[in-house]
Amino acid sequence: SAVISQKPSRDICQRGTSLTIQCQVDSQVTMMFWYRQQPGQSLTLIATANQGSEATYESGFVIDKFPISRPNLTFSTLTVSNMSPEDSSIYLCSVGGGAGAGELFFGEGSRLTVL
């Protein structure tokens, strides 16, 4: 299983600012995903972070709002731009199990509160 470190673990942000979340994996992984989990809700896929190319965004999510970087096979960042209170959520980095395994491993999440 992969060990995934996310930071920050939590932050309180002001409306209109941007915050970058970092995700570090202890091994090289092909598939890396970013999810959002609003309080008491399910996990919603934001995008697939592709190494060496632009991220693939799901419907309802755009690059200008959620720019993603994936400079190598162990690291990715998600930026939440021009934040509003509606962006208050837990953001989770996840990686695939590899070798066609299918299982996802999750970071501990980054809890953002936007005032």
Partner 1 sequence: GENVEQHPSTLSVQEGDSAVIKCTYSDSASNYFPWYKQELGKRPQLIIDIRSNVGEKKDQRIAVTLNKTAKHFSLHITETQPEDSAVYFCAASISTGGFKTIFGAGTRLFVKA
What residues make contact with partner 1 under the rule CB under 8 A? 30-31, 33, 41-45, 48, 58-59, 92, 96, 100, 102-104, 106-109
CB of 19 to partner 1, least distance (A): 20
Nearer to partner 1, 53 or 59 (CB): 59
Smallest separation (angstroms) from partner 1 to the CB of 66: 16
Collapsed DSSP state (helix, strand, coil) of residue 38: coil
First to last CA, the chain: 36
Question: Order of strands, edge to edge, in the sheet holding 19-25?
Answer: 4-7, 19-25, 75-80, 68-72
Toward partner 1, which CB reaches closer, 11 or 58? Answer: 58
Among the listed residues 23, 19, 18, 20, the one whose alpha carbon sits nearest the alpha carbon of residue 6? 23
Share of the chain residues as helix, strand and coil, in percent rounded to the nearest 5: 5, 50, 50
Whose Cβ is closer to partner 1: residue 17's or residue 30's? 30
Q: Judged by CB, which is closer to partner 1: 15, or 63? A: 63
CB of 31 to partner 1, least distance (A): 5
